[in-house]
Amino acid sequence: MRLILAPLLLLLASCTNATPTSHAAPTVQLHGQRFTVEFATDDASREHGLMMRSTLAADHGMLFVFPDTGPRGFWMKNTLIPLDILYFDADRRLVSMQLDVPPCEADPCSIYPSNAPARYVLELSSGTARRIGAKAGDELKITGDVGPAH
């Protein structure tokens, strides 16, 4: 009986020590800084964005991915935290920034437009773009699957 149990126990032990497949969280890199991001790649997720969030970690953000390049404007309805809104063209170059955008406290909410056509929009905690020294022309590097709009 011992001879049968020993191989069985070894097999079970090797199964429990197996490392689970890990999926790295999507990230972006801008001006040498890496941020963990959530992707907003469809109409529903882009519309909801960071609404109703009371905090956003300094190294986190949301990347909005659009199926085309065009004029973009964001508003802060139901967004509870101030944000930096960074607009990128199809080549992922920074073309416009709206910095330290405050939450909307009463309707109608202001719209914060890009100064040039954009395909990607990155929202970060207010003050982040200034802190990292982001500037026009910076390249946004994206790691992870951005989904159907890409």
pLDDT for the residue numbered 144: 80
- Between 14-18, 57-61, 144-148, the lowest mean confidence (pLDDT) is in 14-18
Question: pLDDT tens, 63-121?
Answer: 999 999 999 999 999 999 999 999 999 999 999 999 999 999 889 999 999 999 999 99
CATH fold, domain 24-143, is: Jelly Rolls (2.60.120)
Is the pTM for the entire model greater than 0.75?
A: yes
Q: CB–CB of 125/81 below 8 Å?
A: yes
pLDDT over 60 at 2, yes or no? no
Residues 6 or more apart from 15 whose CB is under 8 A from it? none
Rounded Cα distance between 120 and 89, Å, is 6
Provide the 3-class DSSP secondary structure of residue 119.
Answer: strand
